[in-house]
Amino acid sequence: MDDRRKLLNHFLAALAYRTQKALRDAPEDFGSFRVIEGVRTPAELVRHMASVLGYARTFFVGGHYRPEALASFDEEIERFHEMLGLLAQHLRNGDALLEGMTEERLLQGPFSDAMTHAGQLALLRRLAGAPVAPENFIVAEIKEERLGPDQPRPASPDKIWPEAPKGWTSE
């Protein structure tokens, strides 16, 4: 795999890690949490993330990708991770990009879109009253081959969390 694709693959792994961090131990009904009308729920966000990654994949396989809503949040999450795996496989295989797409444009478009949405999931966790504890991401165990929902716990959780909910203690 060439170096640019290695970094893109790492981008997808970081996306898997950060998305799972935002979803792990979420309240039971978090998938349907709607902060106000006009803002996506977590389930809608995860579907949208699968959609933008599926769109990215069409630049390897052609066609269109418009995912239907699934019955449960868990299924939406599963599909998102499947899409990460499929996309990463194209990168690893060295598959050609279609329609003039480049690695840079994949990064600035759908990949970065999905990363911004991972941040929104974390914000919604906070607004739903169940915020995610901070960590030092630079030492997080993010591995290129690890794209599924089974992501490791933080390697270096923050000891100080100024906005921590009542009762929080550092791990």
C-beta closer to other proteins: residue 55 or 78: 55
Q: Note the residues at the interface with other proteins (CB under 8 A).
A: 2-4, 6-8, 10-11, 13-14, 17-18, 35-36, 38-39, 101, 103-110, 112-113, 115-120, 122-124, 126-127, 131, 136-138, 140, 142, 163, 165
C-beta closer to other proteins: residue 75 or 135: 135
Determine phi and psi for 124, rounding to 5 degrees: -65, -35
Question: Min. distance of Cβ 119 from other proteins in angstroms?
Answer: 3
Please state, in angstroms and rounded to a whole number, the distance separating the CA atoms of residues 97 and 68.
Answer: 25
| Contact residues for 38 (Cβ-Cβ < 8 A; gap 6+) | none
Please state, in angstroms and rounded to a whole number, the distance separating the CA atoms of residues 164 and 73.
Answer: 26
C-beta closer to other proteins: residue 79 or 117: 117
Does residue 38 contact residue 46 with C-beta atoms inside 8 Å? Answer: no
Question: Min. distance of Cβ 51 from other proteins in angstroms?
Answer: 13
Question: Min. distance of Cβ 124 from other proteins in angstroms?
Answer: 8
At residue 33's C-alpha, the angle toward residues 170 and 156, to 5°, is 20
C-beta closer to other proteins: residue 8 or 87: 8
